[in-house]
């Protein structure tokens, strides 16, 4: 049975989904009918956005490529853990840059697999993806901030299936922390690359495999240009609700702008403003970004704008600042932030500018080198 038909049947318990024998025949023999079924607002409700994205991306890209020879000589990639969202400066830039790097080495992502923790917890459920895994030349596992506290089991199951099919599998752009129950899956990967050295050190304790440190994918793209620079102090949220609450309170006390990264976490805050790269590009070098977000700290380094960074839910921010030789910009206690802002406003940040520039330039080189290694794997 067609893979996507199986997925539709699996989710048919949701309202307004009707799959009869005639529909099954049409789905198997007429791709346009299937696209129409999938696109229907009657089929997908908001709680199914992840499944919708998986299916639609598979059809609109993978099927269209069979009609167009543009990608005839490209290697095909199954991407595990697509993190693209409606609103998220970090994840969306990561995904855009992954696509750009793949295009540069003449590889094409044919399947964007969106991780959703509760979709399944048994390896047998991952077998529904075997067909499309088998169509791919290589599997790339974009770990990002997911792989901590033994999370991501369903993604490791898919990696195992790919390996059993004889595919090369790459784990990259990832955090790694406290993964006692999933560390055995490290043996599956032909290349392992973490975003920062603290994660690499943890992996080295669990496997004899080589581990590379390759900075986050946001560093691959060029900075946006802006002629209108403005000196400001801005605040952003954190994945930690306690840190978000404290930063929000301080921003209001200081009459500073506060920005969220995504619309998915903090609905209790009304009239939210969301951070964009254009906004960061418009900040002058003597501005200050106060954040509890890994990707915001990374963008601050990328644009050479001093940051006060508060630890997140893993060691990812500590690792980033350590590798960039900017550890003094990490503030563990939110109670000290107002004092630190006063201190940092008077500080000479030449060391920050120098180290941030060096880190950013090296990051792009390391990312390019990683994708050259990926290219070699599929030759």
Whether 136 and 111 have beta carbons less than 8 Å apart is answered as yes
Count of C-beta atoms within a 10 Å radius of residue 213: 16
Q: How confident is the model at residue 120 (pLDDT cuts 50, 70, 90)?
A: low
How many Cα neighbours within 13 Å face the side chain of 98? 27
Beta-carbon count within 10 A of 1 CB: 10
Closest CA to 97 of 142, 57, 133: 142
Handedness of CA 124, 126, 131, 135 (dihedral sign): negative
What is the tens place of the pLDDT at every residue in 137-193?
Answer: 999 999 999 999 999 988 999 999 999 999 999 999 999 999 999 999 999 999 999
Region of residue 114 (left: phi > 0; alpha: psi -120 to 50; beta: else): beta
Sheet holding 307-309, edge to edge: 257-259, 233-238, 288-292, 307-309
- Rounded Cα gap, residues 253 and 368, in angstroms: 43
Q: What is the DSSP letter of 44?
A: -
pLDDT given for residue 27 in this prediction: 39
Q: What average pLDDT does the segment 77-101 reach? A: 93
Q: Give me the domains of the chain, ranges plus CATH numbers.
A: 1-69 (no CATH), 233-363 (3.40.50.2000)
* Residues 259-289: tens digit of each pLDDT: 999 887 888 888 899 999 999 999 999 999 9
187 contact partners, CB below 8 Å, separation of at least 6: 207, 209
- Model confidence at 354: pLDDT above 50: yes
Q: What is the pLDDT of residue 147?
A: 96
Per-residue pLDDT band for 69 (boundaries 50, 70, 90) equals low
Distance, CA of 131 to CA of 78 (rounded, Å): 11
Give the pLDDT of residue 68. Answer: 56
Cα–Cα distance measured from residue 27 to residue 14, given in angstroms and rounded to the nearest whole number: 19
Q: Output the furthest CA–CA distance in the chain (Å, rounded).
A: 72
Would strands 107-113 and 75-80 be described as parallel, antiparallel, or unpaired? parallel
142: part of which helix (H) or strand (E)? strand 138-144
pLDDT, tens digit, for every residue of 180-239? 999 999 999 999 999 999 999 999 999 999 999 999 999 999 999 998 899 999 999 999
């Amino acid at each position: 049975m067609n893979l996507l038909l199986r997925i539709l049947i699996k989710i048919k318990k949701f309202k307004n989904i009707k799959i009869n024998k005639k529909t099954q025949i049409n789905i198997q023999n007429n791709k346009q009918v299937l696209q129409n079924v999938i696109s229907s607002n009657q089929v997908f409700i908001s709680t199914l956005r992840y499944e919708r994205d998986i299916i639609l991306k598979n059809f609109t890209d993978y099927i269209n490529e069979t009609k167009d020879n543009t990608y005839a000589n490209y290697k095909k990639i199954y991407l595990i853990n697509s993190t693209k969202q409606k609103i998220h400066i970090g994840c969306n830039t990561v995904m855009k840059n992954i696509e750009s790097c793949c295009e540069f080495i003449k590889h094409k992502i044919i399947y964007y697999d969106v991780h959703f923790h509760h979709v399944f917890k048994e390896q047998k459920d991952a077998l529904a993806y075997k067909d499309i895994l088998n169509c791919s030349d290589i599997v790339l596992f974009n770990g990002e901030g997911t792989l901590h506290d033994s999370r991501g089991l369903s993604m490791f199951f898919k990696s195992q299936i790919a390996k059993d099919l004889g595919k090369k599998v790459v784990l990259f752009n990832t955090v790694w922390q406290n993964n006692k129950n999933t560390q055995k899956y490290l043996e599956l990967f032909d290349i392992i690359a973490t975003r920062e050295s603290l994660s690499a050190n943890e992996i080295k304790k669990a496997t004899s495999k080589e581990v590379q440190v390759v900075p986050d994918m946001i560093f691959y793209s060029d900075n946006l240009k802006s002629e209108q620079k403005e000196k400001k102090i801005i605040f952003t949220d954190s994945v930690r609700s306690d840190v978000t609450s404290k930063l929000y309170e301080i921003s209001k006390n200081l009459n500073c702008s506060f920005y969220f990264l995504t619309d998915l976490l903090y609905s209790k805050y009304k009239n939210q403003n969301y951070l964009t790269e254009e906004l960061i590009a418009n900040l002058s070098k003597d501005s200050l970004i106060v954040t509890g977000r890994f990707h915001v700290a990374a963008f601050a380094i990328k644009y050479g704008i001093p940051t006060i960074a508060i630890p997140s839910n893993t060691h990812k921010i500590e690792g980033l600042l350590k590798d960039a030789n900017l550890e003094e910009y990490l503030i563990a206690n939110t109670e000290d932030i107002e004092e630190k802002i006063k201190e940092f406003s008077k500080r000479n940040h030449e060391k920050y500018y120098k180290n941030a520039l060096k880190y950013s330039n090296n990051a792009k080189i390391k990312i390019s080198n990683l994708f050259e290694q990926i290219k070699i794997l599929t030759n």
